Structures are given as C-alpha cells and as structure tokens.
C-alpha cells in the first residue's frame, strides 16, 4: 500500500465494502505504510507480511493460505499480489478474483529495468484455470489479458471510483491560494502524479512556460514524489520557473484540485487514472493524453479534453483553450459534475459485490452489473 492510483482504488474499495457490512482483511506483501492508517481506523483489518524477494514471499504462502481460509473470496490487486494471492487461494480452497491496473506491460519493469511482461503473462496463463474472474479497470485491458491466456468470459469491466461526496466536502474546506503564495488572479494548473518518465511532468512544465507567453500569469503545482523529481526540478531552475511549485506528497489533494483552473496528465501510459476522476468530481476540468481509458473517461464524463500522446503542441493548445476561454472552462465543469456519478466508489463497490457474491455461490461470472447514473 502506497501513494498511487491502484492503491488508492483498493483503499476506497476496502472502505466501502466495510461500510456495507462486510468483513474485510487486507494483506500486503511488504511493510506497513501510513496509507493503511485510515483503513485501520475504519475497521478494515490490515496485515503487513513484511516479505521482500521471491524466497521470502514463497515462505509466506502458508500464512496467505490461512488468511484465505478465513475468507469467502480472495481478491488480488497488483501484479505480484495476483501471483501470491491466487496461489494462497488455491491452497486455501477459496475462489479468487484479481483486478488488472496495468498502464501497459512495457511500463512494468523491475528496479533494474528488466521487463516483467513475460513473467506476468506466464502466471496469468498458468493460474487462469484456478481464477474465478479478472476485473479490468480499462476496457482496453481485456484484449491484453486474453492475449495472455485469460478466458474472455471471465473478464469483467468495472471502472475505478472515488468517494465523490467526501472529495467535494474536502475540497470545500481547503485552504485558499494565499496559503501557497499564489495570486487569486493567476491561472493555475495542477498535476497529481508520481514523478516518472511515464507521467510527463516535463511536458507540463514546458507547456506552462509557453502558455505564460500568451496568457500572462500561468502557474503550475506538482504533487508527488519519485525518481524523476530532481531532474524536473533542475529543468524548472534552468527555466527560472518561480511559477512552478513542488509540493511533494499531500493529504489535501481535493482542496488543491479545487484551487486550480485545470488538471493535467500528459502521460504515455495509464489504466484509468484516479487523479483525473478526482479532479472532475470536484469541478476541475482536465486535459490529458489519450492513453489507456483516459479518452473513454473524458468522453463518458464530459469533464475534459483528450489529446494524442506525444503531441505536445496539441496538448498546449487544449490547455490554452480551457484557460483562455471561460465558456469552454464552464462547459467542462458543468458536464463533468453531471457525468462523474458513474465513477462513484459506492457504485464501484456494489459492482465488486456482485462479482464476489457470484464467486462465492459458484455461479457464472456476471455479465450484467448494476448501472450507474447517466
């Protein structure tokens, strides 16, 4: 459990399942993290196994199987957890379900830069016959899983969700721009993402520099940490970008979105980004690259503009349109607020419940799930 989209989605799901009256136990292969504290407070039982490396994780298999026997269904999130969790479910004789969050297998590499693609495909192929269902957060992921040997009839699409009501309350109760030293009349862009080449913070930085030449005082706030942060900071210093703010990790993201005129994500690979759903939920328009299910999300919700990946000029033009045309900005805000209900975490949890219930009863994987508002 850490500060990233898949982990955030899992936390929302655990909290909503617990609130619905279910017993939820969350095992993590590694160590306890601060992100687990809200789960503990809500009554979700968290069990960090503290295992690092394949041999240590293999030694934990009897423990995972014991926890599997406590449960009626085992749900796995993350490429590593889908291996060890499903093995534990097999030993514990419980049905298993996994959720696929990949932004693209080419982006799933070891710390040494070695591709995990073949290993992930192999364990999906080998464990498919023991797996009740595979949940994809992005429509495009279905073809990927089928190519890795997952049965098409076992794949279910459940979009990520966020607690819309809670986010709006947190946004309304946040600080003003003065707390960050940003003038009220500046145009403000925010990007919430870990610092990695995939997320494109350098593109955002260059875009803001260009927009300042024709729109005046445009500023950007970056939230997140990661290996690329030092390089992007150095790039900002070279530009003399006193208009770029690096805030690190924050626990007031909804309030930061509410301060901004625009949220951006010029990424080269995504599943279904939680940060974009959060932005739309609190009324902040989005411009992002059309990767993964980003284009689908923005079309479905109406809350933003998708541009082709690696088309930096188009990205800049779209950002300029939202910031420079009040009618465009207002239209995206209104459409997004009306269309984001389909991505509420409570509805997401109800859809997961339907899959889990069918798994427990030994019924076919459901093809019809509860529909969201349209």
Arithmetic mean of pLDDT, 84-106: 91
Report the Cα–Cα distance between both ends of the chain, in Å, rounded: 33
Residue 374 pLDDT greater than 60, yes or no: no
Name the band, by pLDDT with cuts 50, 70 and 90, for residue 286: very high
pLDDT tens string 313-363? 999 999 999 999 999 999 999 999 989 988 999 999 999 999 999 999 999
Task: Give the global pTM.
Answer: 0.84
Same fold, 5-161+344-361 and 164-343: yes
Predicted confidence band of residue 373 (pLDDT cuts 50, 70, 90): low
Q: Can you tell me the distance from the alpha carbon of 164 to that of 16, in angstroms, rounded to the nearest whole number?
A: 12
Query: Looking at the predicted structure, is the pLDDT value of residue 2 above 80?
Result: no
pLDDT digits (tens, 9 = 90+) for 39-87: 999 999 999 999 998 999 999 999 999 999 999 999 999 888 999 999 9
Q: What is the pLDDT of residues 140-179, one digit of tens each?
A: 899 999 999 999 999 999 999 989 999 998 898 777 888 8
Q: What is the mean pLDDT of residues 275-298?
A: 93
In this prediction, what percent of the chain has a pLDDT beyond 70? 98
Q: What is the pLDDT of residue 105?
A: 79
CA distance 78 to 336: 29
Average pLDDT, the chain: 92
- For the segment 280-295, the average pLDDT, to the nearest whole number, is 94
Average pLDDT over residues 131-139: 93
Considering only the top CATH level, what class is 5-161+344-361?
alpha beta
Q: Enter the CATH code of domain 164-343.
A: 3.40.50.2000
pLDDT band per the 50, 70, 90 thresholds, residue 3: low
Which residue ranges make up each domain of the chain? 5-161+344-361, 164-343
């Amino acid at each position: 459990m850490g500060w990233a989209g898949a982990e955030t989605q899992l936390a929302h799901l655990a909290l909503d399942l617990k609130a619905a009256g279910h017993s939820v136990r969350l095992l993590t292969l590694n160590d306890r993290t601060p992100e687990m504290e809200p789960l503990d407070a809500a009554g979700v039982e968290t069990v960090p196994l503290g295992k690092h490396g394949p041999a240590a994780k293999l030694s934990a298999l009897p423990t995972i199987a014991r926890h599997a026997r406590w449960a009626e269904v085992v749900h796995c999130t993350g490429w590593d957890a889908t291996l060890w969790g499903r093995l534990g479910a097999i030993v514990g004789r419980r049905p298993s379900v996994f959720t696929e969050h990949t932004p693209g297998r080419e982006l799933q590499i070891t710390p040494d830069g070695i591709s995990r693609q073949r290993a992930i495909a192999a364990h999906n192929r080998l464990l498919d016959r023991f797996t009740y269902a595979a949940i994809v957060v992005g429509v495009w992921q279905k073809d990927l899983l089928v190519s890795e040997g997952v049965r098409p009839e076992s794949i279910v699409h459940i979009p990520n969700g966020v607690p819309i009501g809670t986010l709006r309350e947190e946004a309304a109760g946040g600080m003003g721009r003065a707390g960050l030293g940003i003038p009220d009349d500046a145009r403000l862009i925010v990007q919430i993402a870990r610092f990695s080449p995939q997320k494109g913070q350098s593109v955002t930085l260059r875009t803001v520099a260009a927009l300042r030449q024709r729109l005046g005082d445009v500023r950007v706030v970056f939230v997140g940490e990661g290996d690329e942060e030092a390089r992007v900071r150095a790039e900002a210093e070279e530009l003399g970008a006193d208009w770029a703010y690096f805030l690190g990790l924050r626990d007031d993201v909804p309030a930061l979105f509410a301060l901004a005129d625009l949220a951006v994500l010029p990424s080269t690979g995504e599943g279904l980004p939680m940060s974009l759903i959060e932005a739309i939920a609190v009324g902040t328009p989005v411009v992002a690259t059309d990767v993964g299910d980003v284009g689908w999300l923005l079309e479905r919700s109406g809350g933003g503009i998708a541009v082709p990946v690696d088309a930096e000029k188009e990205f800049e033009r779209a950002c300029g349109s939202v910031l420079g045309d009040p009618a465009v900005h207002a239209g995206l805000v209104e459409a997004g607020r009306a269309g984001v209900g389909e991505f509420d975490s409570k509805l997401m949890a109800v859809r997961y419940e339907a899959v889990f219930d069918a798994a427990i009863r030994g019924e076919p994987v459901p093809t019809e799930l509860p529909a969201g508002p349209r």
